[in-house]
Amino acid sequence: MSKTWTAALLIIGDEILSGRTQDKNVAQIGKWLNLQGIRLSEVRIVPDVLERIVEAVNALRAGNNYLFTTGGIGPTHDDITVDAVAAALDVPVVEHPEARAMLEGYYAKIGKELTPSRLRMARVPKGADLIPNPVSGAPGIVVENIYMMAGIPHITAGMIEGLSGTLEGGRPLVSVTVGAFAPESEVFELLIAIEKAHEGTQLGSYPFFKEGKVGANFVVRAEDEGLAAAAAKALASGLSELGYEPTPGGL
């Protein structure tokens, strides 16, 4: 079996924990990582408290190939992600000349002043490089294996789009879905048998209730497309034998 590449995601922000803002970055980044051949192995959401961010950064960067953070890189007083990552790495915070130039260009273009608080967005942990931000002026930041990105989902999207294909990963995880109006509790043994018979696959079942009936979508995931297809085929046969009509692609 090939090496598995993993990433963790650290979401920084009181507004997510309080329920004020609905997170969209877990799903967005999880899907994007699948395409990079990297598995999202853990997510943590912590408040805008320096020690809590430092602790999570250190726990997550050690156990994974990559750590992504979202949130806390804006201009305001509760934007402390750069300080926290610098503290975690035990390096000073410095102004990045290229980031400053980007901000100068951006604010000149939109006819606004580059105030001291906006200039905070040029601060990086020493040794860092920048992640371009095609949406708004302030760049993301990469240092060691830590990628610091904006928290606002469409700005995050611009940053990950730019990173596509630049990260070393394994083979993308392929998924094949088979749906059926079969209560998942009735096909339990079948799922175990299929997973056992196809080493390297993971099988998930996602129950639903529609058209007045219960059923589930069964998702086979594997790095090998042929393996995923074979397991899905075996699953479809097994469902038929139990009297449930399988629907390739899911219901």
Interaction site with its own copies (CB under 8 A): 11, 14-24, 26-34, 39-47, 52, 74-78, 112, 115-118, 152, 173, 175, 183-186, 188-189, 191-192, 195, 202-207, 219, 221
For its own copies, give the closer residue by CB, 108 or 127. 108
Residues 6+ apart with CB under 8 A from 11: 23, 25, 26, 43, 44, 45, 46, 69, 70, 71, 151
Give the closest residue to 29 by CA, choosing from 63, 71, 59: 71
Pairing of strands 174-180, 247-248: antiparallel
For its own copies, give the closer residue by CB, 11 or 143. 11
Query: CA 65 from chain center: how many Å?
Result: 13
Q: What φ, ψ does residue 175 adopt, rounded to 5°?
A: -125, 140
For its own copies, give the closer residue by CB, 131 or 191. 191
For its own copies, give the closer residue by CB, 29 or 231. 29
For the bound state, the minimum distance from the C-beta of residue 152 to its own copies, rounded and expressed in Å, comes to: 7
For its own copies, give the closer residue by CB, 63 or 132. 63
For its own copies, give the closer residue by CB, 13 or 143. 13
Please provide the DSSP assignment of 203-227 as one string: EEEEEEEETTEEEEEEEEEESSHHH
For the bound state, the minimum distance from the C-beta of residue 16 to its own copies, rounded and expressed in Å, comes to: 6
125 touches 85 (CB < 8 A): yes
Q: What φ, ψ does residue 174 adopt, rounded to 5°?
A: -100, 140
For the bound state, the minimum distance from the C-beta of residue 162 to its own copies, rounded and expressed in Å, comes to: 19
Using CA atoms in the order 153, 154, 158, 161, what is the torsion angle rounded to 10 degrees? 70
For the bound state, the minimum distance from the C-beta of residue 127 to its own copies, rounded and expressed in Å, comes to: 26
- Residue 48 CA to residue 35 CA, distance in Å, equals 30
For the bound state, the minimum distance from the C-beta of residue 131 to its own copies, rounded and expressed in Å, comes to: 19
For the bound state, the minimum distance from the C-beta of residue 229 to its own copies, rounded and expressed in Å, comes to: 18
For the bound state, the minimum distance from the C-beta of residue 90 to its own copies, rounded and expressed in Å, comes to: 23
For its own copies, give the closer residue by CB, 143 or 148. 148
Please provide the DSSP assignment of 140-166 as one string: EEEETTEEEE-SSHHHHHHHHHHHTT-
